[in-house]
Amino acid sequence: HNNFSSFVRQLNTYGFRKVDPEQWEFANEEFIRDQRHRLKNIHRRKPIFSHSSHTQGAGPLADSERRDYEEEIERLKCDNASLKLQLERKKTDMESKMKALEDKLFAIEGQQKNLISYVREIVNAPGFISSLIEQSDHHGKKRRLPKPISFHEDASTQGNQIMHCDMVNSPTHELFRASFDKMESSLNSLENFFKEASEAFGNDVSYDGDVPGHSS
């Protein structure tokens, strides 16, 4: 039988009843090992409504038939209760995962807001723009200088190294470096969030490695 419920009904039709209401074990008084001669006593249960009773109305159920229906009803009740319990567990687990993802998303949004505020303070700092332009012009002029003669090559190389070192160690560079570090940390947190969401919900959420853009 492809349908288990249909198979159970067939067992009930031939007088097989559950041994234990909590287990799928059926028995029949005439179905005993090594006693094939008793199999002939197993008969298909008669329909509830015969031709004569159909015209005169339904007759009372036999005790065996009543027990069969009561057992079937109890089995259906147990199955229904089990399905409800599984559904409640799935619902609780899903709500817990959603709460964890929401908390992580709020934390990432807070990091992004702090980053934007931090960058805005840097850009609006007095002398930031002029210092940035000055360093850019200075660097451009150094690159346009003609190549010195060979006996000044070492000195020129040393001067360029000093200029590069000054720019790297300048306060502007340090501010940019800190900004980029914070931005990178925020993007990594956002990327990890989408990966965790994909793992939590399986195929319902797909992650291809690209962090979606933030819309304001």
Instruction: Concatenate the DSSP letters of all residues of 145-181 into one string.
Output: SPPPPGGGHHHHHHHHHHHHHHHHTSHHHHHHHHHHH
The Cα–Cα gap between 187 and 209 comes to 12
Q: How many CA atoms lie within 13 A of 147 on its CB side?
A: 1
Residues recorded for the chain = 216
C-alpha distances in Å from residue 210, one per residue of 103, 134, 195:
21, 37, 10
Closest CA to 71 of 120, 26, 101, 125: 26
Cβ-count burial of 68 within 10 angstroms (0-12 exposed, 13-18 middle, 19+ buried)? buried
> Which H or E run contains 4?
helix 4-13
Return the pLDDT at 6: 76
Q: Which residue has the higher pLDDT, 164 or 95?
A: 95
Return the pLDDT at 95: 92
Q: Tokens 């690159």 sit at which residue?
A: 143
Helix (H), strand (E) counts: the chain: 6, 2
Q: How confident is the model at residue 85 (pLDDT cuts 50, 70, 90)?
A: very high
Return the pLDDT at 212: 43
pLDDT at 31 over 60: yes
pLDDT at 79 over 80: yes
Q: How confident is the model at residue 176 (pLDDT cuts 50, 70, 90)?
A: low
Cβ-count burial of 71 within 10 angstroms (0-12 exposed, 13-18 middle, 19+ buried)? middle
Q: How confident is the model at residue 53 (pLDDT cuts 50, 70, 90)?
A: very low
Q: How confident is the model at residue 171 (pLDDT cuts 50, 70, 90)?
A: low
- Least-confidence region, from 72-81, 174-183, 195-204: 195-204
Q: Tokens 């619902």 sit at which residue?
A: 91
Domain residues of the chain, as ranges?
4-48+60-88, 105-204
pLDDT at 19 over 80: no
Closest CA to 45 of 69, 71, 13: 13
Closest CA to 131 of 192, 173, 165, 93: 173
Q: State what percent of residues in the chain have pLDDT above 70.
A: 51
Return the pLDDT at 190: 67
